[in-house]
Structure 1
């Protein structure tokens, strides 16, 4: 699942996902430029390393997102509002999914996060295989066929995977302080000093 958008478009969508609705005064017919300026102010873009970006290019990108029904730009009284559509929210999930990683703690809390799932074969084999692949990609250790372990907090990431793959009812996360034969895991995750 690859999001097919440039970095600026991805950042714009992620900013809109965080702020919810963006309101800009409608004092100018160049409202897309004003929105682009607001986005540039709140995110440092760099096309060529200089930190500069073409406002007109970003405004054009916003226009394209609006045309493709990824965002909605509406005029209300004396301002324009910009928000994500349901399609836009889905794309944000794809962007987050593609860039997913689990943050390593500076000091390990000595707890294991165990993800277990039992996805019915007849319904969602491809989802189960995709889940296994993604868990491996983001650094989980396969303890058994559908049992995966990670030493760092990962609940948000697993929740996103469940939403993207539509497998919420089939997945559980357990936090444990000890796993039998845990030395294998300590070695795998290079946590010997603990």
Structure 2
């Protein structure tokens, strides 16, 4: 398992993915269709920008991004009966799209606090150090308060987000989410989170 993760990290670090290519991967992952035609001389030609998210990308830049993603073997295409083409993410493309989706993840703050603390605790082996550091950094970025090096706390529901993050980093077996009614430092935490 460890060698597979290291191999994937090396392969991903060799890939040069631009901002528009990232956006294309994430939009395809979200299931937003794009109608294309295949031209032997010019490659893919965009027929219709069906969704408004696609319209935010310059048409030429979008075609270039699709071409590069296809050459990088992150996407493949399926020929439809009507002559159009459907772009499909392969497994490598899906993993990369998930990773880029991670950059946009946020935890919603409810209007009223439910009086529960969410504690993320982890014991990650040294050979997953990069993943451990990335997890700590992401938790801080999301507003978690570090109680210790491997224990973070937040007063808002975050189960889906933690599941997603641990899946992306491949750390699910090492991370626990605890929901607690009180801690011995409740007053300090309430002040910290302005509750």
TM range, smaller chain: 0.7 to 0.9
Distance 1:4 1:103, change over 3 A: farther
* TM-score of the superposed pair, with normalisation by structure 1: 0.77
State the alpha-carbon separation in 1 of the partners of residues 58 and 136 from structure 2: 41
1:24 corresponds to 2:35:
yes
C-alpha contact 1:32 1:62 (8 A) present in aligned 2: no
What is the alpha-carbon root mean square deviation over aligned residues?
Answer: 2.7
Counterpart secondary structure, 1:139: coil
Q: SS at the partner of 1:106?
A: coil
TM-score (normalised: structure 2): 0.77
Structure 2 vs 1, CA of residues 129 and 11 (structure 1 numbering), >3 Å: closer, same or farther?
closer
What is the deviation of 1:43? Answer: 4.5
In structure 2, list runs of 5 or more residues that go unmatched: 1-8
- Alignment of 1:106 with 2:111, yes or no, is yes
Identify the structure with bigger relative contact order (alpha carbons < 8 Å, sequence gap 6+).
1
Supply the distance in 2 between the matched residues of 1:166 and 1:155 (Cα, whole angstroms).
Answer: 16
Q: Who is 2:190 aligned against?
A: 186
Q: Which of 124, 131, 137 is the matching residue for 1:133?
A: 137
1:169 maps to what in 2? 173
1:152 aligns to what SS in structure 2? coil
For residues 31-46 of structure 1, what are the structure 2 equivalents within 5 Å?
A: 32-34=45-47, 37-39=49-51, 41-43=52-54, 45=56
> Structure 1 residue 120: deviation in Å?
2.5
CA separation of 1:44/1:55 partners in 2, compared to 1, >3 Å: closer, same or farther?
A: closer
1:32 to 1:154, Cα distance in 2 relative to 1, 3 A:
farther
Partner of 1:159: 163
Count residues with an aligned counterpart: 178
Are 1:11 and 2:23 counterparts? yes
CA distance in 2, matches of 1:90, 1:144: 30
